[in-house]
Amino acid sequence: MSDPTKFAEPVTSFDVHIYFFQGSERSVQSAARLREEILQTFPDFEVYKLHTTPIGPHPTGMFEVDLRTPQQFAQLVPWLVTRRGEHSVLIHPHTGDGLRDHTVNAIWLGDKVPLILDVLRPRTQQ
């Protein structure tokens, strides 16, 4: 029987990346408000700063929320479905295969953002 407090193997956790257009003050402010609402609603979640320049495979501004348990996933993802506003959201697992996790294993809310895939490595190269 599986442990309901852990993700099914090989998943160890999930990242949620919430995107915004760093050149648009309206988009930046909207993302900052959404981030603050997440911090207030889910005070125990790991929520990272707004990145206003591209970082890693992310070609535009974004902030990240780490989901360490299935319970956190079940709380945040449905909440984001109706509260993400204009923001595209990438939800991806950690399985040890960064390329696959950001592509084949990814879940998107809203429009897909084209990622910079050449910075990601498949499992065999990690």
* pLDDT tens-digit readout, 22-44: 999 999 999 999 999 999 999 99
Q: What is the per-residue burial (b if ≥16 Cβ within 10 Å, else e) of 68-102?
A: bebebbebbbeebeeebeebbbbbbbbbebbbbbb
Spell out the domain ranges in the chain. Answer: 13-119
Report the predicted TM-score, pTM, of the whole model to 2 decimal places: 0.94
Percent of the chain with pLDDT over 90: 90
pLDDT band (50, 70, 90) for residue 2: confident
Note the pLDDT of residue 124. Answer: 62
Give 5: exposed, middle or buried? Use CB within 10 Å, 0-12, 13-18, 19+: exposed
Note the pLDDT of residue 126. Answer: 44
Report the CATH superfamily, name and number, of domain 13-119.
DOPA-like domains (3.30.70.1240)
Percent of the chain with pLDDT over 70: 97
